[in-house]
């Protein structure tokens, strides 16, 4: 709608708006360049604070640091606490004449870390600069404070990309505007969550408790990576997500594989057979009804998808993949479907600690991504029903002796609460404003996608607050998010500051 | 043959022989009782020496300790060294009038340990006494040297059962005989190996280098557990064994399961599908020709098997297994077939470190047990051919970028040398002598079995030395051999000393 009416605006007005935006962008960039050392120093300290969601010792250090960063910019922030769990850091600034409000979201907690899996010299909470990813031949830079930071460098550390980068860009974009005497066009709210990587179990509670304070015309979610082509992207939806933990049981104690081989059931084999029954060799989930409730894409969504530049050829090369799952399906097409991913599986030992035993159990963690139409509980039930149909007795606790005596195949299934997918229509006026603001910062067409592959609990924003939500990812796509050697490319931080500043001033 | 001719010996002679054996047994037992504190103190120190096969720092401490234990009994021992690898401790004693020689084998190296998997308070190389297995409600005993040791207790520690127990029983049986003025009827050799848990890669080399020194009429192998009924057992063969390490590859770096889900192949799924293709849900290996070359059992072997007391009902209860692999097959019947066991598998992380990623690889370690007729290289080839038939490109190294570009399914396969099965006919005279000697120590029928479920490189004894080999297991079957919480029941050590002493004096 807005895109149609735009055609009626005289060309000189468009140009004037464009020139003004360009001018403002230059001021923001100039401010950043002048303050790079302070911005980097502040960010290094931020990433160095351990932030695994469950780390109750260090989580308060993160929130205190964020409150302090906001205070330095003149923003009074406070903690919105759930009955139990990690608080949200919330701040608010009003501007004379502004009638509408944007709420900026990012999260300060990070995924669990296994320091042993990080490359030598890289540590999750001891951030260092690297020339390029270590796996691609990069090396650690002998950085000392005050050194010029090359925008091609990357900063390595847990949450350096996901999602402390969001907080850093939002805060510094605000700083750059205010210090450059540029006025935001919206009242601004800042909402930094601390339980996103655990599935945001208390977000609904915090929303319900603070409904009025959190009211806004739009939430901008800064999370997830930019497009694999490196281009800026606006994401109108996210997949839902839920994790399931499966444990299959063998003998009560580990057994010598010779003295019990061909007699005691092997839980590793049982788990392999079970997981194998869930997907075919094209990666299509074979669980009954798995794709049945997916809402088809609108014509506008299909059109946007068709314009997304192809990335598959370069991704295949970069990732060493000869044949993706699903054959010729594009990456983005796959995002429009639910997934069943094996996050991890384990039974006994491999490598140097491998021993000739029949292990006692085999574990797997599944990640289910959901799309519009899926319901998280229904999706869990489909998987559970499938497991039951394979002859399993299902429990949510360690099996008792009585259960072991009665059932040949026992599985323990646990899952977190999870949440559904969310999607915002692309043609809403406020959506068009965001697109225009972002477009003003680059000279290529910004990519628009109906949904990211990743997940955020945006479903709850709609449900509890009636909010409109648009996601603006800021970081490089090859950031090893959720894994070892997580990193953020410095140029993406700088561009992120520009992106957010443009949105804060959008018409 | 001997059992037939026995019937012709006058009854009073048999009785005299029996009484004499009983008398000698009492002397051995009396000696052990009088020296229990010293024997235990010496054994505690022995088990406390770390002995993983690869532990080149501590292996020499083990051999020095064994040389010292033998020296204290007046036996000069020396090290038989392979060009590289862990040495054999070898000793020899001749007796006037003895014309034949028995060579006693045990091994001092232990399986790899993962201390984290041991129960609280139990450490692989800090042996403690426990009342009964911790998993069965046992607790650690606050033992101080000098305390009376209850024969129902167990000593917990790596190699406490497998197989330092063999060395301890052999050495102390010899000590008990000599100190009680009882004369062994055979010249004795002592051969304590240090690479058994790695598949004895240098045993053939040591045999070839020392063929004359090692000559004997019989090898007695002290390794593996006694029968699950708790009864003494003579084992006339062992299965062969080989390990295969499999690695299946996904993307070159770990990927966010949302941002790449439904596109990047998941190596955990690929491995699950591959392993699942190797066995049916009855545990029968579905690899082509897997059972084709198995030599059928002789009538004598079938008869011996039929007399083995059933253990399945109590094992099922103890191990919490409702339905064994292979349905109604007995444990011992399974021993007569080759196995394919999943020792371990791993991809990504499970538990607290699980993250929403598509992992880069998935590993599995397979253990193949072989029976008479199987050939180790042929067995490996069958598995390899099967994997190839599933569409895999096979390499023995990390895949190159070129290989990754070319092949959708890549697997790295490595394996150790492994060895074939061995079986000694039950009706040889020397076999009958061993049975008689063992029978003299107990008042129930000693169990005879054509083959153990476990493996030892006995094939090489026949091949390199032309040796006859009989296995006499000494330890309790529920010893968690090869796994965490390994333990030996004290009464089995005491009975082991009696068993070996009887064999040293056999007619």
A260 touches chain B (CB under 8 A): yes
Nearest to A350 among B341, B348, B365 (CB): B365
Contact (CB<8Å) B369/A453: no
**pLDDT of B20 over the 90 cut:** no
% of chain B surpassing 70 pLDDT = 97
Indicate yes or no: CB of A348 within 8 angstroms of CB of B325: no
Indicate the pLDDT class of residue B9, thresholds 50, 70 and 90: very low
Mean pLDDT (chain B) is: 93
Flag whether residue A364 sits within 8 Å of chain B, measured between CB atoms: yes
Interatomic CA distance for residues B497 and B175, integer angstroms: 10
CB contact under 8 A, A269 and B254: no
- Burial class from Cβ neighbours inside 10 Å (0-12, 13-18, 19+) for residue A266 reads buried
Q: Which of A356, A248, A354, A350 is nearest to B276 (CA)?
A: A248
The answer to whether A324 and B264 have CB atoms below 8 angstroms apart is yes
Provide the β-strand partners of residue B246. Answer: B364, B413
Residue A201 to residue A77: CA distance in whole angstroms: 22
**Which domains are present in chain B?**
2-239+421-504 (3.40.630.10), 240-294+337-415 (3.30.70.360)
pLDDT of the residue at B129: 97
Residues β-bridged to residue B419? B241
- Count CA atoms within 13 Å of residue A303 on its CB side: 5
CB atoms within 10 A of CB B446: 20
What are residue B237's DSSP bridge partners?
B423
Q: How far apart are alpha carbons B221 and B190 in whole angstroms?
A: 11
Contact map slice: B 27-66 vs A, CB within 8 A? 54
Mean pLDDT computed over B237-266: 94
Rounded to whole angstroms, the Cα distance separating A414 from A417 reads 10
> DSSP letters along A378-407, please?
HHHHHHHHHHHHTT-EEESSPPPHHHHHH-
Record: contact A111-B356, CB cut-off 8 A: yes
Structure confidence at residue B1 (pLDDT): 31
Residues in chain B with CB shorter than 8 Å from the CB of A395 are none
Chain A CB contacts of B255 under 8 Å are: 319, 483
Would you call A245 helix, strand, or coil by DSSP?
strand
Partners of residue A77 on adjacent β-strands:
A91
d(CA B92, CA B174): 12
Query: What SS3 state is found at B67?
Result: helix
> Of B366, B363, B361, B362, which Cα lies nearest the Cα of B343?
B366
Tell me: pLDDT of B166 over 80.
yes
B130 CB neighbours in chain A (<8 A) are none
Q: Which residues 287-326 in chain B show a CB within 8 A of chain A? A: 316-326
- For B215, other C-beta atoms within 10 Å of its C-beta total 13
**Token pair in block for residue A76:** 């009074």
- Who among B133, B351, B454 is closest to A256 (CB)? B454
Q: Which residues from chain A sit within 8 angstroms of residue B314, using beta carbons?
A: none
Contact B326 A254 (CB under 8 A): no
**In the beta sheet, which residues pair with residue A406?**
none
Round to whole Å and give the CA distance between B106 and B89: 10
Strand-pair partners of B325: none
A307 CA to chain B: closest CA distance, Å? 18
Q: How many interchain CB pairs under 8 A, A with B?
A: 362
Cβ atoms < 10 Å from Cβ of A149: 17
Residue B14, pLDDT score: 52
Q: Which of A135, A260, A367 sits opposite B252 (nearest CB)?
A: A135
DSSP-derived letter for residue B408 is: S
Residues of A in contact with B266 (CB under 8 A): 283, 325, 341-342
Q: Do the chains contact at B344 and A348, CB–CB below 8 Å?
A: yes
Mutation target among B55, B258, B357, B479 for the A interface, most CBs of A within 10 A: B258
* CA-derived radius of gyration, chain B: 24
ipTM: 0.76
Among A241, A349, A484, the residue with its CB nearest the CB of B254 is: A484
* Residue B316 CA, distance from chain mean position: 22
Q: Which of A255, A354, A455 sits opposite B344 (nearest CB)?
A: A354
Both tokens of B161, joined, read 């059962």
Mutate to test the interface with A, among B317, B350, B418, B479 (most CBs of A within 10 A): B350
User: Which of chain B's residues have a Cβ under 8 Å away from the Cβ of A269?
Assistant: 275-276, 279, 283, 342
Would the pLDDT of B506 be above 90? yes
Name which of B221, B238, B272, B291 to mutate to probe chain A: the one with the most chain A Cβ atoms within 10 A of its Cβ: B272
Closest CB to B343 among A260, A320, A348: A348
Q: Which two tokens stand for residue B353?
A: 């470190």
Residues from chain A that touch B362, judged by Cβ atoms under 8 A, are: 345
B501: Cβ contacts below 8 Å, ≥ 6 apart = B24, B25, B28, B173, B174, B176, B177, B182
CA distance B160 to A224: 53
User: In this complex, which of A111, A355, A454 lies closest to B343 when CB atoms are compared?
Assistant: A355
Distance from CA of residue B165 to its chain's centroid? Answer: 12
> For every one of its 507 residues, what pLDDT tens digit does chain A have, with 9 covering 90 and above?
333 333 444 455 555 667 788 889 999 999 999 999 999 999 999 999 999 999 999 999 999 999 999 999 999 999 999 999 999 999 999 999 999 999 999 999 999 999 999 999 999 999 999 999 998 899 999 999 989 999 999 999 999 999 999 999 999 999 999 999 999 999 999 999 999 999 889 999 999 999 999 999 999 999 989 998 899 999 999 999 999 999 999 999 999 999 898 899 999 999 999 999 999 988 899 999 999 999 999 888 998 999 998 889 989 999 999 999 987 789 999 999 999 999 999 999 999 888 899 999 999 999 999 999 999 999 999 999 999 999 999 999 999 999 999 999 999 999 998 999 999 988 889 999 999 999 999 999 999 999 989 888 888 899 999 999 999 999 998 999 888 999 999 999 999 999 999 999 998
In chain B, what residues touch A119 (CB-CB under 8 Å)?
none
d(CA A31, CA A180): 7
For B:65-124, CB contacts with A below 8 A are: 111-114
* pLDDT surpassing 90 at residue B21: no
Element containing residue B364 per DSSP (H, E): strand B361-370
How high is the pLDDT of residue A12?
53
CB contact under 8 A, A350 and B329: no
Do the chains contact at A354 and B243, CB–CB below 8 Å?
yes
What does the DSSP 8-state code read for residue B239?
Answer: B
Are A283 and B269 an interchain contact pair (Cβ–Cβ within 8 Å)? yes
Torsion of CA A461, A462, A464, A465, to 10 degrees: 80
Position A342 scores a pLDDT of: 97
**Nearest-by-CA chain B residue for A282:** B265
Suggest the residue from B320, B475, B485 to mutate for an interface test with chain A (most A CBs closer than 10 A). Answer: B320
> pLDDT per residue over B265-324, tens digit each?
999 999 999 999 999 988 899 999 999 999 999 888 998 999 998 889 989 999 999 999
B440 three-state secondary structure: coil
Give the model's pLDDT for residue B15.
58
Is B12 exposed, middle or buried, given 0-12, 13-18 or 19+ CB atoms closer than 10 A? exposed
Of A265, A352, A362, the CB nearest to B112: A352
Does any CB of chain B come closer than 8 Å to the CB of residue A405? Answer: yes
pLDDT tens digits along B176-224? 999 999 999 999 999 999 999 998 899 999 999 999 999 999 999 999 8
- Report residue A368: phi and psi, to 5°: -105, 120
Sign of the C-alpha dihedral, residues B400, B405, B407, B409? Answer: positive
Mean pLDDT, range B436-456, rounded to an integer = 92
Convert B237-259 to b/e letters by CB count within 10 Å (16 or more is b): bbbbbbbbbbbbbbbbbbbbbbb
Query: Does the CB of B414 have a partner CB in chain A at under 8 Å?
Result: no
A129, β-bridge pairs: A155
Query: Angle at which helices A59-72 and A36-47 pack, to 10 degrees?
Result: 160
Q: How far apart are CA B81 and CA A372, in angstroms?
A: 69
Residue B232 C-alpha, separation from nearest chain A C-alpha, in angstroms: 16
Q: What is the pLDDT of residue B12?
A: 53
CB atoms inside a 10 Å sphere around CB A340: 27
Contact A323 B408 (CB under 8 A): yes
Structure tokens belonging to residue B269: 């799924």
Of all helices (H) and strands (E), which one includes residue A36? helix A36-47
Enumerate the residues of chain B whose CB falls inside 8 A of the CB of residue A453.
256, 258-262
pLDDT of amino acid B502 = 97
Nearest-angstrom CA–CA distance, B372 and B47: 34
Q: Does A404 touch chain B (CB under 8 A)?
A: yes
Alpha helix stretches (DSSP H) within B135-280: 164-179, 203-209, 267-276
Structure token digits, residue A74 = 């003149």
Residue-wise pLDDT for B351-389, tens only, equals 988 889 999 999 999 999 999 999 999 999 999 999 999
Chain A partners within 8 Å of B345 (Cβ):
268, 272, 345-348, 350, 362
Burial tier of B179 (Cβ tally within 10 Å: 0-12, 13-18, 19+) = middle
In this structure, what are the phi and psi dihedrals at residue A96, rounded to the nearest 5 degrees?
-60, 130
Q: At a CB cut-off of 8 Å and minimum separation 6, what does A90 contact?
A: A77, A78, A79, A80, A189, A190, A191, A192, A210, A213, A214
Strand partners, A490: none
- In terms of Cα–Cα distance, which of A24, A2, A9 is closest to A440? A24
Query: What is the enclosing helix (H) or strand (E) of B431?
Result: helix B429-439
Place of tokens 């004369």: B183
Check CB contact under 8 Å for B261 and A481: no
**What local confidence, expressed as pLDDT, does residue A299 receive?**
87
Grouping H, G, I as helix, E, B as strand and the rest as coil, residue B494 is helix
Cβ of residue A339 closer than 8 Å to a chain B Cβ? yes
Please state, in angstroms and rounded to a whole number, the distance separating the CA atoms of residues A106 and A193.
6
Q: In whole angstroms, what is the distance from residue A349 CA to residue A257 CA? A: 13
Which residues in chain B have their CB less than 8 angstroms from residue A54's CB?
352
Give CA–CA dist A239/B259, Å, rounded.
10
The A residues from 367 to 396 touching B (CB cutoff 8 Å) are 367, 369
A361 neighbourhood in chain B, CB within 8 Å: none
Residue of B nearest to A243 (CA): B356
């Amino acid at each position: 709608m807005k895109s149609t009416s735009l055609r009626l605006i005289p060309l000189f007005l468009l140009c004037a708006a464009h020139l003004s935006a360009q001018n403002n962008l230059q001021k923001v960039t100039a401010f950043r360049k002048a303050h790079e050392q302070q911005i980097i120093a502040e960010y290094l300290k931020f990433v160095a604070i351990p932030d695994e969601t469950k780390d109750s010792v260090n989580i308060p250090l993160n929130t205190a640091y964020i409150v302090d960063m906001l205070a330095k910019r003149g923003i009074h922030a406070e903690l919105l606490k759930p009955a139990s769990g990690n608080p949200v850091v919330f701040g608010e600034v009003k501007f004379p004449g502004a009638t509408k409000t944007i709420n900026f979201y990012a999260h300060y907690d990070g995924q669990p870390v296994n320091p042993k899996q990080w490359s030598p010299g890289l540590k999750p909470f001891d951030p260092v600069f690297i020339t390029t990813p270590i796996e691609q031949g990069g090396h650690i830079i002998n950085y000392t404070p005050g050194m010029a930071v090359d925008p091609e460098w990357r900063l390595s550390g847990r949450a350096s990309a996901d999602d402390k980068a969001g907080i850093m860009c939002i805060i510094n974009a605000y700083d750059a505007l205010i210090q450059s005497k540029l006025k935001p066009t919206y009242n601004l709210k800042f909402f930094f969550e601390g339980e996103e990587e655990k599935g945001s179990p208390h977000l609904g509670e915090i929303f319900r408790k603070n409904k009025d304070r959190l009211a806004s015309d739009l939430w901008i979610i800064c999370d997830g990576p930019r497009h694999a082509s490196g281009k800026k992207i606006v994401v109108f939806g996210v997949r839902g997500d839920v994790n399931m933990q499966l444990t299959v049981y063998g003998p009560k104690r580990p057994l010598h594989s010779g003295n019990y081989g061909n007699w005691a059931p092997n839980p590793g084999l049982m788990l392999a057979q079970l997981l194998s029954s869930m997907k075919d060799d094209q990666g299509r989930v074979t669980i009954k009804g798995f794709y049945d409730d997916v809402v088809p894409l609108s014509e506008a969504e299909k059109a946007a998808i068709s314009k997304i530049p192809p990335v598959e050829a370069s991704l295949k090369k970069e990732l060493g993949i000869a044949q993706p799952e699903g054959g010729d399906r594009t990456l983005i097409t796959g995002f429009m479907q639910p997934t069943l991913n094996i996050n991890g599986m384990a039974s006994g030992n491999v490598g140097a600690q491998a021993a000739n035993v029949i292990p006692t159990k085999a574990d797997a963690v599944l990640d289910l991504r959901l799309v519009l139409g899926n319901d998280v509980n229904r999706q869990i039930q489909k998987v559970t029903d499938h497991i039951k149909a394979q002859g399993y007795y299902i429990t949510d606790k360690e099996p008792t002796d009585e259960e072991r005596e009665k059932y040949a195949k026992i599985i323990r299934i646990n899952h977190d609460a999870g949440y559904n997918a969310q999607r915002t229509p692309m043609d809403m006026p406020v959506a068009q404003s965001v697109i225009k603001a972002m477009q003003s910062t680059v000279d290529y067409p910004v990519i628009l996608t109906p949904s990211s592959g990743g997940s955020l609990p945006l479903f709850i924003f709609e449900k509890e607050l009636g909010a409109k939500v648009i996601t603006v990812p800021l970081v490089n796509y090859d950031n090893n998010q959720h894994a070892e050697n997580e990193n953020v490319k410095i140029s993406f931080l700088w561009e992120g500051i520009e992106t957010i500043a443009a949105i804060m001033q959008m018409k």
